[in-house]
Amino acid sequence: MYMEVPFYDLDPMNVVWHGNYVKYLEASRCDMLSKIGYTYTDMMNEGIAYPLATMDLKFIKSARFSQKLKIVTTLIEYEPALIIRYEIFDAKSDELIFKAKSMQICIDAKTGESIYSAPVKFVEQLEKYE
Amino acid sequence: MYMEVPFYDLDPMNVVWHGNYVKYLEASRCDMLSKIGYTYTDMMNEGIAYPLATMDLKFIKSARFSQKLKIVTTLIEYEPALIIRYEIFDAKSDELIFKAKSMQICIDAKTGESIYSAPVKFVEQLEKYE
Amino acid sequence: MYMEVPFYDLDPMNVVWHGNYVKYLEASRCDMLSKIGYTYTDMMNEGIAYPLATMDLKFIKSARFSQKLKIVTTLIEYEPALIIRYEIFDAKSDELIFKAKSMQICIDAKTGESIYSAPVKFVEQLEKYE
Amino acid sequence: MYMEVPFYDLDPMNVVWHGNYVKYLEASRCDMLSKIGYTYTDMMNEGIAYPLATMDLKFIKSARFSQKLKIVTTLIEYEPALIIRYEIFDAKSDELIFKAKSMQICIDAKTGESIYSAPVKFVEQLEKYE
């Protein structure tokens, strides 16, 4: 996914405030799920959700106003948990500026109980996608 | 309501980014509703909501990191719509730094239809509060 | 400008939280200034800034997750103040969902003093753009 | 530090959107630094900054609207890097809902170069604080 750093994400050091990267990760994850063909909307319709369990962030370089970023999102594992790796590069120089890894656990949206197998439709879409 | 400007609300000019005042207004409105005794949770339980219809913002002075702010919230009208006025002052000098006015319309949370009379419980609490 | 509603901008009613529209306005304003050829970066380099003085928001319809939005930004006036009108439409149906108007005053970034004439370079770019 | 979950931090699941915890960590870190007597303002005045290098987040329970939270911030190490541990509890039940750890590296704000010893004033304040 490509994006451009908006002004409202900057802090007094004139760089992206560190917490805003979490938004970029989510946007990129939604973009990947949309390409796979299994979106947040599909999850809601099936009565499941994938809340975040852990997230590790590594800040390597600062991103600046109107900088073009490339976010590479890689699905590492989908059972028993969804593990995704993220790398954010400067879109021009390909310099790595940020890395992250997240783990999400599938739950029943009503009861909150964990489900350790991925939804059938998700697996079907993943098999087509790979 | 009193609050202190957090670092993450600042922009590259080292002042509160203008859009963040909308959060302060909501926090202050929730605080007022809590004192009245009719909160967002009460609204949800009664199946109604009060989405914003209009909001007018006037930016007078800049607010800075760790500045103490005093937010004065005044209920102007509650029927046919909820009209609230907000004034944000520097808590020490009492200098006015921001003004706003909002209008919210009561709706049925399921159908989305407008309701031009305030909920009975809200009116009861308002009468006790005034 | 076109955009897609991100998940992180939604509130418990499953619609865009009202304060997030202010971000969309800024993104659209930056996009317009970039097309005019006079960006926030140009302003900073010339030692000026255009802080918001007033902003009027009208919330007409709710925007939902992954909805495509079209933001139309119109420069109404640039002297003595920058007045911009914004309209947000559903990109498919062209239904109007939000309207706003902002006024920004040019200031000397160091002294904070108001400047009632637009910067020469900005006017030059505006004349080419129109 | 104590805080109350604001409405604008909630997501469609009616719980705090995961990325918002990063704001709570910063607020709590600033509060701790203020008690130590060495704030972000002191850092700026000394020409240094402490950008985040890594941050690990563990989401244990969901936090809900108007829930009172207690954030316990512990300084683990300040040389060669600032390592802080955070625990967020429900203020009433003392149930743990979130954990995190951050590492920040001291840099010269102008050159961006890393400084592996903590500023003298910071160390002095730390010695008084402990």
DSSP for chain C, written as a single string: -EEE--GGGB-TTSBB-GGGHHHHHHHHHHHHHHHHT--HHHHHHTTEE--EEEEEEEE-S--BTT-EEEEEEEEEE-SSSEEEEEEEEETTT--EEEEEEEEE--EETTT--B--S--HHHHHHHHHH-
Task: Report the residue of chain B nearest A19, measured CA to CA.
Answer: B8
Tens-digit pLDDT profile for residues B47-83: 999 999 999 999 999 999 999 999 999 999 999 999 9
Alpha-carbon distance A27 to A49, whole Å?
16
For residue B129, what pLDDT is reported? 85
Task: Report the residue of chain C nearest D19, measured CA to CA.
Answer: C8
User: Which chains have at least 3 CB atom pairs separated by less than 8 Å from chain A?
Assistant: B, C, D
Shortest alpha-carbon distance between residue A101 and chain D (Å): 10
Residue ranges of domains in chain D? 2-129
Shortest alpha-carbon distance between residue C124 and chain B (Å): 26
Beta partners for residue D73, in sequence order: D86
DSSP A116: -
Please tell me which of the candidates B6, B39, B40 has its beta carbon nearest to residue D27: B6
pLDDT beyond 80 at D130: no
Q: Does B65 touch chain D (CB under 8 A)?
A: yes
Reduce the DSSP state of residue B109 to 3 states and report it.
Answer: coil
Q: In this structure, is the dihedral angle defined by the CA atoms of residues A112, A116, A121 and A126, taken in order, positive or negative?
A: positive
Half-sphere exposure of B3 (CA within 13 A, CB side): 23
Shortest alpha-carbon distance between residue B86 and chain D (Å): 18
Per-residue pLDDT of chain B (130 residues; tens, 9 = 90+): 999 999 999 999 999 999 999 999 999 999 999 999 999 999 999 999 999 999 999 999 999 999 999 999 999 999 999 999 999 999 999 999 999 999 999 999 999 999 999 999 999 999 998 7
Alpha-carbon distance B120 to B27, whole Å?
24
What are φ and ψ of residue B49, in 5° steps?
-145, 160
> Residue A65 has which token pair?
């106003």
Please tell me which of the candidates A13, A26, A55 has its beta carbon nearest to residue D49: A13
Beta partners for residue C64, in sequence order: C15
D15-23 average pLDDT score? 98
What are φ and ψ of residue B20, in 5° steps?
-70, -20
Beta partners for residue C107, in sequence order: C49, C114
Please tell me which of the candidates B23, B51, B109 has its beta carbon nearest to residue C59: B51
Residues in chain C predicted with pLDDT less than 50, given as ranges, are none
Shortest alpha-carbon distance between residue D51 and chain A (Å): 8
Tens-digit pLDDT profile for residues A6-60: 999 999 999 999 999 999 999 999 999 999 999 999 999 999 999 999 999 999 9
Tens-digit pLDDT profile for residues D34-85: 999 999 989 999 999 999 999 999 999 999 999 999 999 999 999 999 999 9
Alpha-carbon distance D128 to C76, whole Å?
58
Q: Which of the four pLDDT bands, split at 50, 70 and 90, describes residue A100?
A: very high
Q: Does A12 touch chain B (CB under 8 A)?
A: yes
> Which chain B residues have a beta carbon less than 8 Å from that of D41?
65-66
Do the Cβ atoms of D7 and B40 come within 8 Å?
Answer: yes
pLDDT beyond 80 at A130: no
ipTM of model:
0.95
Shortest alpha-carbon distance between residue C79 and chain A (Å): 24
Do the Cβ atoms of A23 and C39 come within 8 Å?
Answer: no
Task: Report the residue of chain A nearest B15, measured CA to CA.
Answer: A12
For residue D114, what pLDDT is reported? 95
For residue D3, what pLDDT is reported? 98
> Which chain B residues have a beta carbon less than 8 Å from that of D27?
6, 8
For residue B52, what pLDDT is reported? 97
Do the Cβ atoms of D54 and A59 come within 8 Å?
Answer: yes
Tens-digit pLDDT profile for residues D76-106: 999 999 999 999 999 999 999 999 999 999 9
Contact call for residues C109 and C47 (beta carbons, < 8 A): yes
Q: Which of the four pLDDT bands, split at 50, 70 and 90, describes residue D129?
A: confident
**What CATH number has the domain spanning C2-129?**
3.10.129.10
Please tell me which of the candidates D7, D26, D41 has its beta carbon nearest to residue B8: D26
For residue A124, what pLDDT is reported? 94
Tens-digit pLDDT profile for residues A102-117: 999 999 999 999 999 9
Q: Does D112 touch chain C (CB under 8 A)?
A: no
For residue C129, what pLDDT is reported? 85
